[in-house]
Chains A and B, each alone.
Chain A
């Protein structure tokens, strides 16, 4: 059922910016262009691919994995150029497979946590049939389920006492999208406590060397400029306060009073060192909470090495990151899914966590941020222009900015509640 819905939605929908970037990157990279360029609409839109709604789009702010996949998708489409929809389908295929892999891994992890196949089935279905997960991979076209699957595989291998293979898997996750790197210190603390410093360091080194080597190979082979690649990736640390975070207050204030809250003033705030790197503090707090949990469990080695504290560690780091980074795209919520779903199925868990609340808010935000009809821009570019008019014309824009801010604040408050619930649950789990 989940697969059918995905297949029915995937080939004609996409995020007007992100998916358009993927479509163009695939076309240009397959035709010899560098992954880290700027891609114009002319010369490719005449071939019926994508829509010329943006004259130019920038390259990807990721390591090369996804860009290379988009080029591969285009090459396959070029072998069988039935219709551009086939190309869009190929681009969505990998995230859908990522969903499937994550579902299977959630099943395995829940089975480890509960020993109950029924619970495992329910938790994997809670992920696979979740409308938000379906929306992100097969409507938006975002591929976070792939690094998520690699991260979950890395966790399974960690529990199966295979730290090096686990490091390789996490490295692959980082290579596809850099976000899973936030779990590396959790793995380090886990391995340092359970197996020793040598294994912990080797794991960390493997997880870092794998994406580094896999990045350097295409850069050297295709002669792409290292500096352009680094600039594209490093620019991710300079994002202003946007999307699913209370920091989008800046956009609301700018809309209400552009004189007092000009783009320059807001840029000054968001580039201030302690605002720009606040996420480091968020992650530090997350790691410290995990370390404290480890100390509470230090007397009981089997509990120490079990899945439950590891998942809590991931949750602390993820929430710390989501609460402090100034740019939180909706798809980052996907990383919370398995952590909350598996935790709530665990018999040890006594809290009131509910994954439904999280995804409903995230989906509501996504639909306020970009109205649902705009995702059909591949069928008719006018849908994008209608959204563009409504989103940036008074008074509709102010309503949108206010709704965005309100939902983001509720979402962040909920994350804080989850965090405090998990911290309060320390003693019981020990």
Chain B
């Protein structure tokens, strides 16, 4: 232990440690700056953005002390400036203690205030969602038009394709050639087209494993087209699907399209989705099939592909016609997995909303006027979510003797006829102790980490207030204990000095 202390007292050791700590700080700063550039975002990994608030404070304190130590060392070693502390008198000692206590408590109070002040905004977003019916079609019924009446609020509009109803969502959905492996007998694995209570068609495929651990099983339905479908430069595959996750992250589902190429070769493309974020692409050994692994689909996933382009990119050859479609689902055989397709459509047009190609299940729509133009697939009911901006936003602080509080207040107006919509408020609570008041009533979240709240039958003005409070243990010391003590101490000092001056004057 003594050796270690001696080593730490050594000037060179101190410099090595100082340089090391400052080097780590430089890495942090450089990583942070480089990560701001879009292309170099990955530098964030070298930094410490994931550290907890406590670790970050400790790290910052260490850096500050390192800088102070560096200044001290440089002053001593380069400029021969040395600090020698005199032993203070009794009065001086009391002054130092009082001053340091006051300084520490003030710093703590300021820190507590800055902690509350710097808490991220709760940023609530009030969303109302409802079904819209088409108000007409244009371009020979290729485009469906919807009118959004509530746009006067300056709302942002998001569509939810998984809740919308499509008129003809599947190009091929008959049962063809079934193949399976590692499944339980008795028709427990199946391919079926079902209808939801809203009338929405869904292809449901189930893989019921035979309970063997470590065995990869599957269920597939291959539909061979009697009349091959011609593929041209604008033929699209539009998919909207969801895969139930497995217990061991082994589930997958795919759609496989068999093509006849321009030079009469049979080649296949596979779009495969997992319950884990797997992104990759590779060829079969005979180079006749290219498989695209497209990440996790445990939530509704929308994607669309230009078949002509993907085929050409994969095989450097042009497709002539589509000859088969295969749906598949599988996992390790100790799982029961269901895959649902809401869209599996071969279309001559890409799915576009207001002229923009749709790339996600919840596309945000750029509104020009009050209309949404839905192009590519016929839709009978569109589920639209409007995010309303609050018409008033206020933030203020309240300082009490034992508490610092921050208030955030937001106000909206809802003017949508009742029972036609679902309303929900999303927010980011700054911390678990945040109190939330919705139109005067406290909202008690049942569990930590709940970030959204459903509103029931609210109309007119909606007010939401977030309150963050922190108990300030040092404020009383600052103001109650220390201030009177200081006053007393200074008053006595002045008095004794005065007496001393009087005595000196008398002596002379």
Contacts and interface: CB of A to CB of B under 8 A. Distances in A.
A38 B276 contact: yes
Nearest to A34: B280
Interface of A: 28, 31-34, 37-43, 45-47, 52-53, 55-56, 78, 226-227, 230-231, 234-235, 237-238, 268, 271-274, 277, 280-281, 284-285, 288, 381
B332 A55 contact: yes
A41 B282 contact: no
B23 A280 contact: yes
B344 to A, nearest CB: 21
B6 to A, nearest CB: 15
B223 to A, nearest CB: 22
Interface string B280-305: 11111100001101000000000000
B135 interface: no
Interface residues of B, number: 47
Given A42-B252, A234-B42, A277-B23, 6 more contacts: A33-B281, A34-B280, A42-B250, A43-B291, A227-B42, A281-B16
B274 interface: yes
A381 B16 CA distance: 50
B52 interface: yes
Interface residues of B: mostly helix, strand, loop or mixed?
Answer: mixed
B59 A37 contact: no
Contact of B216 (A39, A45, A227, A274): A45
Contacts of A56: 249, 276, 278
A41 B248 CA distance: 13
A271 B51 contact: yes
B42 A37 contact: no
B90 interface: no
A40 B278 contact: yes
B473 interface: no
Contacts of A237: 45-46
Contacts of A272: 51, 55, 58-59
A42 B46 CA distance: 34
A426 to B, nearest CB: 15
B216 A381 contact: no
A285 B281 contact: no
B48 interface: yes
Interface in B1-27: 12, 16-17, 19-21, 23-25, 27
9 contacts: A31-B284, A39-B278, A39-B280, A52-B216, A53-B214, A230-B45, A234-B43, A235-B45, A268-B55
A244 B153 CA distance: 62
Contacts of B216: 41-42, 45-46, 52
B28 interface: yes
B278 A28 contact: no
Nearest to B218: A42
A177 B380 CA distance: 58
B330 interface: yes
A39 B28 CA distance: 32
A288 B20 CA distance: 13
A38 B46 contact: no
A40 B12 CA distance: 52
B62 interface: yes
Contact of B283 (A31, A55, A274, A280): A31
A274 B62 contact: yes
A37 B16 contact: no
Contacts of A41: 216
A32 B282 contact: yes
Interface in B202-220: 214, 216
B48 A271 contact: yes
B39 interface: yes
